[in-house]
Amino acid sequence: MEVGLSGFWQNVVCEMDCLDALQLIQLESSPSTVEHELVCKIKDILIRNWSVELSIIQQSANTVADYMARCAFSSQHEYKEWLSPSVDILARVQHDIAT
């Protein structure tokens, strides 16, 4: 979502496969959980001057996003940026298109 902050997009659709995460983000108050800091950061991003739609999808419906999220999570950096798709990402794109 933070890429949208650069002004390129005004309307963003964010699909996720974790209903618990969506419910935490949509709570009026901040949760008192270990995810508190992350949820607060996401809420701060959502209230900026743009439209963000959050929706639930099955994990199997988008293996590309799942793969990229896992890679970013396992990275030691705050975020991971791909300047061009890797062979693994391209293979998953082809799989998602075929299914």
Instruction: Compute the distance between CA of residue 95 and CA of residue 63 in angstroms, rounded to an integer.
Output: 8
Domain spans of the chain, in order of start:
1-57, 59-99
Instruction: Compute the distance between CA of residue 31 and CA of residue 80 in angstroms, rounded to an integer.
Output: 26
CA 31 to chain centre: 19
Give backbone dihedrals phi and psi of 78, rounded to 5 degrees, phi first.
Answer: -65, -35
9, 45 contact by CB (below 8 A):
no
DSSP E strands, 1-98: 11-16, 51-56
Each residue's pLDDT tens digit, 38-96: 888 888 888 888 888 888 888 788 888 888 888 877 877 767 777 888 899 999 999 88
Each residue's pLDDT tens digit, 19-47: 888 888 888 776 677 777 888 888 888 88
